[in-house]
Amino acid sequence: MDCCVRTFATLALGAVLAAPSVQAADVWPTITVGTQEVGLTAGYMFSHRLTELHRTKQHGPAVMPSWMMTITDPIGDSWYRGQVSLGAEMVYLEFREPLVTHGIGFTPRIKYTFVALGRLRPYAEFAGGPFWTDLGGRIREQANEFNFVLMGGVGLSWFLTPQLAVNAGYRFHHISNAGTAFPNLGLNASLPFGGFSFYF
């Protein structure tokens, strides 16, 4: 996993250094209906024990490659003017406590990007889907290896060129089995992240 993080950091740095030196007006992105986005995001989870029954302090790295497509022209006429994108994301998590375990999932994803600030684009996102982890059944909070993951968060995209943006933000993660087995207390975590996206 450390190798994945190093590779991600190398790619991110390379993307930034490879961006040509252009004037601010030249990096104003033109995102239209049908524009596709391929991204890579990485971060680190920090657990939230929301009740006294939550004992596990799971934490560890996360890597999330994604694909999205813009499906609307800009909506609205004020600060909330923005566009909707739909897509999908793979989620890989490594849990480092109470024992080293792994999780992988696939999540449909929706994102609303605010466009009023030009090359700086705040966004809100939500994703959720099936998730498998070998942590399930080995901790008191979760009985199953098969679960679901829900994620909601906010972020900022800064366009270095019309086709390349760097991203940073925060997500809240929730993992549970939707009541298909007990116990099902759920695992909750914060995930600050960084990454980059290519648009075409």
Query: Per-residue confidence of the chain (200 residues) as pLDDT tens digits?
Result: 555 545 555 545 454 444 444 444 567 898 999 999 999 999 999 987 666 665 667 789 999 999 999 999 999 989 899 999 999 999 999 988 777 889 999 999 999 999 999 999 999 999 999 999 887 777 777 778 899 999 999 999 999 999 999 999 999 999 888 888 777 778 899 999 999 999 99
Structure-token pair, residue 2: 């450390």
Rounded to whole angstroms, the Cα distance separating 128 from 106 reads 8
Rounded to whole angstroms, the Cα distance separating 26 from 126 reads 31
Q: Could you tell me if residue 26 is inside a domain?
A: no
Q: Could you tell me if residue 31 is inside a domain?
A: no
**Helix, strand, coil in percent for the chain, rounding step 5:** 10, 55, 35
Domain with 71 in it: what CATH number?
Answer: 2.40.160.20
Q: Could you tell me if residue 20 is inside a domain?
A: no
Q: Could you tell me if residue 19 is inside a domain?
A: no
Which are the contacts of 104, defined by CB distance < 8 A and separation ≥ 6? 90, 91, 92, 93, 131, 132, 133
Q: Could you tell me if residue 136 is inside a domain?
A: yes
Q: Could you tell me if residue 27 is inside a domain?
A: no
8 Å CB contact between 96 and 130 = no
Structural domains counted in the chain: 1
Q: Could you tell me if residue 23 is inside a domain?
A: no
Domain that holds residue 74: 2-14+40-49+56-199
